[in-house]
Amino acid sequence: MRCGSPTSSDMQRPGDCVRVDPAELGRVLRRLRRARRLSIEDLALRADLHPTYISSIERGKRNPSCGKLSDLALALGVPLSALMQDAEREARVMRIAQSIERSIANAGDG
Protein backbone atom coordinates (compact mmCIF):
# COMPACT_ATOMS: atom_id res chain seq x y z
CA MET A 1 0.00 0.00 0.00
CA ARG A 2 1.28 3.46 -0.85
CA CYS A 3 2.30 5.90 1.87
CA GLY A 4 -0.64 8.08 2.79
CA SER A 5 -3.25 5.71 1.38
CA PRO A 6 -6.15 5.05 3.70
CA THR A 7 -6.27 1.62 5.27
CA SER A 8 -9.46 -0.25 6.03
CA SER A 9 -9.10 0.74 9.70
CA ASP A 10 -8.93 4.44 8.69
CA MET A 11 -12.10 4.34 6.64
CA GLN A 12 -15.52 4.65 8.20
CA ARG A 13 -18.51 2.54 7.37
CA PRO A 14 -21.43 4.50 5.86
CA GLY A 15 -23.44 4.03 9.08
CA ASP A 16 -20.67 5.81 11.00
CA CYS A 17 -21.23 9.09 9.17
CA VAL A 18 -22.68 11.95 11.15
CA ARG A 19 -23.78 15.45 10.19
CA VAL A 20 -21.79 18.17 11.93
CA ASP A 21 -23.89 21.17 12.93
CA PRO A 22 -22.32 24.64 12.95
CA ALA A 23 -22.66 24.73 16.77
CA GLU A 24 -20.63 21.53 17.13
CA LEU A 25 -17.94 22.82 14.81
CA GLY A 26 -17.91 26.08 16.77
CA ARG A 27 -17.40 24.28 20.10
CA VAL A 28 -14.42 22.41 18.64
CA LEU A 29 -12.92 25.58 17.22
CA ARG A 30 -13.30 27.38 20.57
CA ARG A 31 -11.78 24.43 22.45
CA LEU A 32 -8.76 24.33 20.12
CA ARG A 33 -8.29 28.11 20.28
CA ARG A 34 -8.45 28.17 24.08
CA ALA A 35 -6.11 25.17 24.37
CA ARG A 36 -3.54 27.27 22.52
CA ARG A 37 -4.28 30.27 24.76
CA LEU A 38 -5.24 32.40 21.76
CA SER A 39 -7.74 35.20 21.90
CA ILE A 40 -10.26 35.52 19.10
CA GLU A 41 -8.27 38.52 17.89
CA ASP A 42 -5.01 36.50 17.85
CA LEU A 43 -6.63 33.73 15.83
CA ALA A 44 -8.20 36.28 13.50
CA LEU A 45 -4.79 37.79 12.76
CA ARG A 46 -3.23 34.38 12.15
CA ALA A 47 -6.07 33.23 9.88
CA ASP A 48 -6.57 36.62 8.16
CA LEU A 49 -10.23 36.67 9.18
CA HIS A 50 -12.32 39.21 11.07
CA PRO A 51 -12.73 38.56 14.82
CA THR A 52 -16.51 38.87 14.64
CA TYR A 53 -16.57 36.20 11.92
CA ILE A 54 -14.61 33.80 14.16
CA SER A 55 -16.85 34.64 17.10
CA SER A 56 -19.94 33.87 15.04
CA ILE A 57 -18.44 30.52 13.95
CA GLU A 58 -17.70 29.63 17.58
CA ARG A 59 -21.30 30.48 18.53
CA GLY A 60 -22.64 28.29 15.72
CA LYS A 61 -24.11 31.25 13.85
CA ARG A 62 -21.95 30.91 10.73
CA ASN A 63 -21.13 27.90 8.59
CA PRO A 64 -17.64 28.56 7.19
CA SER A 65 -16.48 27.40 3.78
CA CYS A 66 -13.87 24.69 3.42
CA GLY A 67 -11.32 27.37 2.54
CA LYS A 68 -12.03 29.34 5.72
CA LEU A 69 -11.85 26.14 7.78
CA SER A 70 -8.51 25.37 6.17
CA ASP A 71 -7.26 28.86 7.10
CA LEU A 72 -8.41 28.35 10.69
CA ALA A 73 -6.86 24.89 10.95
CA LEU A 74 -3.56 26.23 9.63
CA ALA A 75 -3.68 29.14 12.09
CA LEU A 76 -4.31 26.68 14.93
CA GLY A 77 -1.54 24.37 13.79
CA VAL A 78 -3.78 21.35 13.20
CA PRO A 79 -4.61 19.46 10.03
CA LEU A 80 -8.02 20.27 8.60
CA SER A 81 -8.85 16.56 8.82
CA ALA A 82 -8.17 16.59 12.58
CA LEU A 83 -10.43 19.61 13.04
CA MET A 84 -13.24 17.82 11.21
CA GLN A 85 -12.67 14.54 13.06
CA ASP A 86 -12.99 16.42 16.35
CA ALA A 87 -16.20 18.02 15.07
CA GLU A 88 -17.55 14.60 14.08
CA ARG A 89 -16.74 13.26 17.56
CA GLU A 90 -18.52 16.25 19.08
CA ALA A 91 -21.54 15.55 16.87
CA ARG A 92 -21.62 11.89 17.92
CA VAL A 93 -21.48 12.84 21.60
CA MET A 94 -24.33 15.30 21.11
CA ARG A 95 -26.45 12.68 19.30
CA ILE A 96 -25.89 10.20 22.16
CA ALA A 97 -26.79 12.85 24.75
CA GLN A 98 -29.94 13.75 22.83
CA SER A 99 -30.91 10.09 22.57
CA ILE A 100 -30.47 9.63 26.33
CA GLU A 101 -32.53 12.74 27.03
CA ARG A 102 -35.32 11.43 24.78
CA SER A 103 -35.24 8.04 26.51
CA ILE A 104 -35.52 9.68 29.93
CA ALA A 105 -38.36 11.92 28.77
CA ASN A 106 -40.20 8.95 27.23
CA ALA A 107 -39.73 6.87 30.39
CA GLY A 108 -41.40 9.64 32.37
CA ASP A 109 -44.38 9.67 29.99
CA GLY A 110 -45.26 6.05 30.68
pTM listed for this prediction:
0.77
Compute φ and ψ for 53, nearest 5 degrees: -65, -45
pLDDT tens per residue across span 34-47: 999 999 999 999 99
User: Within 13 Å of residue 46, how many CA atoms lie on the same side as its CB?
Assistant: 18
Q: How far apart are CA 83 and CA 64, in angstroms?
A: 13
pLDDT tens per residue across span 47-91: 999 999 999 999 999 999 999 999 999 999 999 999 999 999 999
SS3 18: coil
SS3 76: helix
Q: What angle do CA 42, 46, 33 make, to 5 degrees?
A: 55
Q: How far apart are CA 38 and CA 47, in angstroms?
A: 12
